[in-house]
Amino acid sequence: MIDHYLKEISKKYASKWLVMLFDVLTVLMTLVFSFFIRFNFRLDFDIWIVFKQMPYVAVAAIISFMLVGSHKGVVRYTGFKDVVNIIIGANILATILLVTVLFSRKYQVDTVLGFSGSIIYIHLLLNFLFLIGSKLFIKSVYNKLIQDHDEIKHVLIYGAGSSGIVTYDALTNDIKTNNHVVGFIDDNVDKVGKKINLLPVYGINQLSKTLIEKNSVDEVIISIQNISSKRLLEITNFLFNLNLKVKIVPPIQNWIDGDLSVGQIKNVKIEDLLGRAPIQILNPELEHEYENKVILITGAAGSIGSEIARKLTNYKCKKLILVDISESPLYNLQQEFILQGFDNFIPIIADIKDKNRLDKIFEEYKPSIVFHAAAYKHVPLMENNPYEAVNVNVKGTKNIANISIKHGVTKFVLISTDKAVNPTNVMGASKRIAELYVSCLKGKGKTKFITTRFGNVLGSNGSVIPLFKNQIERGGPLTVTHKEITRYFMTIREACQLVLEASTMGNGGEIFVFDMGKSVKIFDLAKNMIVLSGLKYPEDISIKITGLRPGEKIYEELLADGENTVKTYNEKIMIARTKPININKIESTIINLCSINNETSNLEIVSIIKDLVPEYISKNSKFEVLDSVRNQ
């Protein structure tokens, strides 16, 4: 009941005029104290003179505080800026009194205004002490009364620079959380061993389980601006091994009105640990590229397709045509856009294998740009269903590409994958064939065919991150196919930035890849996810090695044998130069592959695929027998 009453009071702020009254009364009180101190606490002065001086001092104080606006500060949130304002205001007051003394002496004005210099200086110091001290005292008492009586969380701040100090202020000023800062950590050896706000600064090599247990440290907040992803990964891995929770302060440009609040300090996310800086694409040409254009997206309800659609809502598109075969996900995307007030789109349920249906859609809406994101992507499923992999990934792409030429589409952007590079599975090989087919169409009609090739997308449907999250929720274990398996990762946002940029810079025939940094070991990713979930490895959740799945590589690649790269104006984006291909032979073989029916054996289908993609060598798969025959 008391807590509820206090919280209701906390929603109200004291009037600035009440704060002004309090400050003026404090100044008058310190005036009396100044005289007592000056006369060694004896009443050897005319007390009535002091009372006569009070109205003038009160007026001078009001003028001083009005000039700096110190009365506008909220007492419960008193911080560094408020202290500075109080100091400035007190100095202005002392200056006014000194000017008054000089004026009264020169012109022999009423002796009531004849303050002695020592009184003014003592008064100034007392004002510093009482004005600042009273506000900090009120703030401290208020915070003790109003804060929730949860268990205190002991925190270390990583970074003893200006950002770290701001973080300290934000934590200590927040009344809704019981954060207790016990010290700082810094990489600068000149700061280690010193104190900031009476708190010790440790070097990271000084952190040990003994130190952590002694100070009951619960978490570390990383407050370093412009920290490299590589360094962030090193720090978090070190802290995770000490079983500490880790949070991170956002960049200054993301602070609200330039001020940091505790609510902005977030848990380290798995995408923060990719070991590279996020891909940033700031191209003003994007707006011109998509303005007043009808844009069609296949696979629009999938992870990539839906994010491309979301990005395009920021541009002045004439119409977005969202095509997908999955009813429920497309309905969810439709409702999302409606709730956001975006209505310039048309959701269409359609199958990219249905050529006639696609032709009618293109005839009706006449898109000028096509983003082809529809595909089957799961390696083990496609390894057992090569007919479907061909039907969707190859024939579906062929349908969309041919119809794009027929209807004069300006640009066609194919969403591909790093699994198309030196493929070891049916899925990757089918995506490589899709790349080959659109390469064969260069110069046929006015459509410019552009391919984007990237690695695994964090958080996409069916990816390893949602899988690990589900396994953690069930109590584990997390399953990893091989302890040394690595993958390149990007965020969905990065993937879609690349796709939109590729459409802008592409002139037709390019395969765009980008610098994804170092590949990430899946085993380490699993350990990090366990710790990010607030659990311990292996005490709380273990990791089980299950063995490589059919067609699965240990290492992925972004370039095939015989390919090299050409730089673009964005250092993170490159163009892969592919080795020459026999267009007529490949096109006719792909047409033959697309003519197969569901009675064709899997071995026969994969055999044709291997003829089309000579670098396709099966791994851990029943189709390895075809490689043995081919090598004889």
Whether residue 82 sits in one domain with residue 107: yes
Q: Which of 617, 602, 508 is nearest to 560 (CA)?
A: 617
Per-residue confidence (pLDDT) for residue 2, from 0 to 100: 45
Sign (positive or negative) of CA dihedral 382, 387, 388, 389: positive
pLDDT of 9: 46
State the pLDDT at residue 296.
97
Does residue 36 sit within a domain? yes
Tell which of 268, 300, 329 closes a domain: 268
Domain for residue 323, yes or no?
A: yes
CATH of the domain at 424: 3.40.50.720
Q: Does the residue 274 lie in any domain?
A: no
Pairing of strands 478-480, 511-514: unpaired
Is residue 484 included in any domain, yes or no? no
Q: Residue 154 region, left (φ>0) first, then alpha (ψ -120 to 50), else beta? A: beta
Taking the CA atoms of residue 460, residue 461, residue 465 and residue 470 in that order, the dihedral angle to the nearest 10 degrees is 150
The number of distinct structural domains making up the chain is 3
| Confidence at residue 525, expressed as pLDDT on a 0 to 100 scale | 84
Residue 541 backbone class (left: φ over 0; alpha: ψ -120 to 50; beta: rest): beta
Q: Which residues of 454-469 are buried (b: 16+ CB within 10 A; e: fewer)?
A: bbbbbbbeebbbeebe
The Cα 373–Cα 299 span in angstroms is: 5
Indicate whether 58 and 126 sit together in one domain: yes
- pLDDT tens-digit profile of 344-401? 999 999 999 999 999 999 999 999 999 999 999 989 999 999 999 999 999 999 999 9
Same domain assignment for residues 422 and 306: yes
Q: What does each C-alpha distance from 479 to 383, 464, 522, 545 come to in angstroms?
A: 20, 10, 10, 6
The answer to whether the CB of 512 falls within 8 A of the CB of 502 is yes
* Crossing angle for the helix pair 397-406 and 355-365, to the nearest 10 degrees: 40
Per residue in 403-419, pLDDT (tens digit) is 999 999 999 999 998 88
Whole-number Å distance between alpha carbons of 394 and 396: 6
Same domain flag for 198 and 305: no
Instruction: Give the Cα separation of 110 and 405 in Å (integer).
Output: 98
**C-beta of residue 298 within 8 angstroms of C-beta of residue 352:** yes
End residue of a domain, out of 219, 243, 268: 268
Given 146, 168, 194, the domain boundary residue is: 146
Separation between Cα atoms, residue 407 and residue 304, nearest integer Å:
25
Contacts of 167 by beta carbon, 8 Å cutoff, 6+ apart: 157, 159, 221, 223, 249, 260, 265
- Does 88 share its domain with 168? no
pLDDT at 10: 47
Residue at 628 is within a domain? no
Same domain, 258 and 356: no
Domain membership of residue 35 (yes or no) is yes
47-68 helix and 80-107 helix, angle to the nearest 10 degrees: 130
Question: Long-range contact list for 597-601, CB < 8 A, 24+ apart?
Answer: 598/387, 600/387
User: What are residue 545's DSSP bridge partners?
Assistant: 480
Mean pLDDT in each 10-residue stretch from start to end of the chain (632 residues)?
47 68 85 82 76 82 81 65 78 79 67 70 82 75 60 86 86 75 91 89 89 89 81 81 84 64 74 64 74 95 93 91 96 94 94 96 96 93 95 97 96 92 94 95 91 77 79 90 85 82 84 77 85 80 90 72 70 78 89 90 94 92 84 61
In a domain, 314, yes or no: yes
Helices (H), 45-132: 47-68, 80-107, 117-127
**Same domain assignment for residues 307 and 437:** yes
- In the structure encoding, which two tokens stand for residue 540, read together? 């709380």
**Per-residue 3-state assignment (H helix, E strand, C coil) for 215-245:** CCEEEEEECCCCCCHHHHHHHHHHHHHCCCE
Residue at 304 is within a domain: yes
382 and 411 share one domain: yes
Task: Tell me: do 157 and 135 sit in the same domain.
Answer: no
pLDDT score, position 179: 82
Q: How far apart are CA 83 and CA 490, in angstroms?
A: 45
SS3 content of the chain, % helix, strand, coil (to 5): 50, 15, 35
> Could you please report the per-residue DSSP string of 296-335?
EEETTTSHHHHHHHHHHTTS--SEEEEEES-HHHHHHHHH
Name which of 165, 281, 180 is nearest 223 in CA terms.
165
Q: In the prediction, which pLDDT does 6 show?
A: 44
Whether 186 and 309 map to the same domain: the answer is no
- Residue listed under structure tokens 């999955």: 326
User: SS3 of 62, please?
Assistant: helix
DSSP character for 28? H
pTM above 0.85, yes or no: no
Two structure tokens written together for 562:
């015989």
179 and 120 in a single domain? The answer is no
Which residues are designated catalytic? 419
Do 129 and 163 share a structural domain? Answer: no
Q: What range defines the domain where residue 325 resides? A: 285-455+491-516+557-612
CB proximity list for 152: less than 8 A, separation 6 or greater: 178, 179, 180
Do the Cβ atoms of 93 and 127 come closer than 8 Å?
yes
